[in-house]
Amino acid sequence: MQKVDYESFGKSKRNNYEQEKIIKDPFGKFEDINIQKAIPRKIIKDIKRKKEFIENGINRIEEASKIKYPEYYVEPVLPVAFTSLERGSPTPYFARNIFHIWKGEVRIIIQLSAPLIAFGLKGTIQAILAHEFLHYIEYVRKFERLDIISDEISSTLFEAKYADACRSFKPELIFTHSNKSPQIIKHLREKFQNHSVGERLIKKTKEDWINKSLPVRRVSLENNVSSIPIETIMKTKFDSDVGKRIKELEQNAKKSKFR
């Protein structure tokens, strides 16, 4: 499974209604002196400046879904996908759900890549936040059903994109509780045409990050398997409000099939 060795993780107090947070600062990895040497100061400054975009997007998603957004952090080392069957330019991971074992339980954390925040427009950042949120809900549903011992392997990037597009609940079923819901759904449709995040961001990332030798981590899709012990899954307790909303979503999804 995806290992997480982030110094920004740490203990924090919690009350009876919230899970214990394990991320002190979502931008904490940029305090590392080696990262500061590897990434231009202007890019780091732009990333931190856009914190407001992230927070506003999360607030909108929570209002529209009535579900608390999971913890997130910004990863300064860009994950880049490749397969043994494909050649050509690499495909960056702009964001993804990762699993972290915390005190014997599974925690789902949203990883946002530095290029996404540095080069992405406000609408793109918020669309990707919503897109990963859909996957988060799907993962919680699978965990509660004990249906996520291991995730499937995709042998090609095309198959990976297809699987990614087919995993989550429909946005129209989730984002229904706010006047911002139509905008969230519109952003998702516009930014993820053909299961892609958009050529502008991809081009900008390749030219101004990958081609300039900024920090990159190669990820092989053939080895990109998440395997979690069943005992750990059974010990994991998610926010009860999330579970209730997922049951509602499943009922709504069944009703929509018969309309």
pTM: 0.83
Which residue(s) pair with 12 in the sheet? none
Looking at the chain, the whole-number percentage of residues with pLDDT higher than 90 is: 39
Q: What is the structure's pLDDT at 8?
A: 41
Lowest mean pLDDT among 4-13, 142-151, 211-220: 4-13
Q: What is the structure's pLDDT at 155?
A: 55
Q: What is the structure's pLDDT at 186?
A: 87
Average pLDDT across the chain, whole number: 81
Residue 37 predicted with pLDDT over 60: yes
Question: At which residue do the structure tokens 């910004």 appear?
Answer: 74
Top-ranked range on mean pLDDT: pick from 34-38, 92-96, 150-154, 215-219 = 34-38
**Closest to 143 in 3D by CA, of 154, 133, 153, 135:** 135
Q: What is the mean pLDDT of residues 78-97?
A: 78
Q: What is the mean pLDDT of residues 155-167?
A: 60
Residue 16 predicted with pLDDT over 60: no
Residue 158 predicted with pLDDT over 90: no
In the structure, what pLDDT confidence band is assigned to residue 145 with cuts at 50, 70 and 90? confident
DSSP-based three-state secondary structure for 253:
helix
Q: Where are the domains of the chain?
A: 28-257
Phi, then psi, of 133 in degrees rounded to 5: -65, -40
Q: What is the mean pLDDT of residues 150-173?
A: 64
Residue 59 predicted with pLDDT over 80: yes
Question: Dihedral, CA atoms, 101, 221, 118, 211, nearest 10 degrees?
Answer: 140
Cβ atoms of 172 and 203 within 8 Å: the answer is no
Residue 224 predicted with pLDDT over 70: no
Residue 49 predicted with pLDDT over 50: yes
